[in-house]
């Protein structure tokens, strides 16, 4: 769904604040930039990879004019907005390169992060190519990584965000199920593998939600808003595998951002 007036307004806001995220800054020892009212951190699900209409800036970050942070900022008339979220970012990338715009005057911070830390891209590559048995074992290994390394990295990142933005309302958004089971897909993963991937997402969201709560942050669950719109549903808001545009694969479409992520954020902000 296209919102030309919203997109134009959002683009103006982003270009006006481009200096805030044109170059990554380190979380420690970096020069302080003026604090921004709303800062959108995170990975590809926050940057809008898969939604199209990409903004000027680092091409690999795939920051979309249709991403939920841009839509929220425009809908609320936000004039102080920074959008350092970047495709492929893990917790360490956010910690070292995205926290520069945070400060005592920051009032809202949103982020999705954790999928890259769990090895999401390699999990899906193996599941697509390696068959059901390898998919199940790969998902199991990813769950172990979530329980170990990711927990520690989330705690480190969440503490840094709170230290840099002590007055901010921090909303951590989760990830949707990828697959609609017993759906319309006639090729690709078997339903047993699809169910395992969805269970892996459930585990990831549970860990993220617990660590967010431990730091006093709000967790926004998007699985409900995406229900019935996963891959293999009649009206998917997620891209399936696309060999011609691999970074679009398994990411929300523009409707996924506007009808899946944006309402989940609006309910808690």
DSSP state of 111: E
- Residue pair 196/135 in contact (Cβ under 8 Å)? The answer is yes
Which is catalytic among the residues 177, 229, 251, 259? 251
**Tokens standing for residue 260:** 């899946």
Using DSSP, state whether 82 is helix, strand or coil.
strand
Which is catalytic among the residues 17, 44, 46, 74? 44
Using DSSP, state whether 142 is helix, strand or coil.
helix
| Continuous segment of H or E residues that includes residue 39 | strand 38-42
Q: Is 80 known to be catalytic? A: no
Q: Is 44 known to be catalytic? A: yes
Cite the DSSP H helix spans in the chain: 4-16, 44-47, 68-75, 91-97, 120-145, 151-164, 191-214, 223-226, 254-255, 262-268
Q: Annotated catalytic sites, by residue?
A: 44, 251
């Amino acid at each position: 769904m296209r919102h030309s007036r919203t997109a134009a307004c959002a683009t103006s806001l982003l270009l006006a604040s481009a200096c805030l995220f044109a170059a990554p800054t380190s979380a420690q020892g970096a020069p302080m930039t003026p604090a921004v009212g709303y800062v959108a951190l995170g990975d590809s699900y926050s940057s809008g990879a898969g939604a199209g209409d990409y903004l000027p800036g680092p091409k690999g970050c795939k920051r979309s004019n249709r991403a939920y942070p841009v839509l929220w900022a425009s809908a609320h008339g936000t004039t102080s907005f920074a959008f350092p979220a970047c495709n492929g970012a893990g917790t360490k990338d956010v910690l070292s390169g995205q926290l520069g715009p945070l400060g005592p005057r920051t009032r809202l911070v949103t982020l999705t992060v954790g999928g890259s830390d769990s090895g999401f891209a390699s999990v899906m590559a193996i599941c697509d190519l390696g068959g059901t048995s390898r998919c199940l074992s790969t998902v199991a290994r990813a769950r172990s990584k979530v329980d170990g390394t990711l927990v520690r990295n989330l705690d480190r990142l969440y503490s840094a965000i709170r230290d840099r933005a002590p007055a901010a309302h921090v909303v951590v958004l989760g990830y949707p199920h990828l697959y609609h089971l017993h759906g319309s897909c006639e090729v690709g993963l078997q339903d047993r593998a699809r169910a395992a991937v969805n269970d892996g997402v459930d585990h990831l969201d549970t860990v993220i939600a617990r660590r967010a709560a431990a730091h006093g942050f709000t967790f926004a669950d998007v699985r409900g808003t995406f229900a019935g719109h996963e891959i293999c549903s009649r009206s998917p808001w997620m891209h399936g595998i696309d060999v011609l545009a691999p970074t679009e694969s398994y990411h929300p479409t523009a409707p996924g951002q506007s009808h899946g992520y944006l309402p989940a954020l609006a309910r808690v902000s």
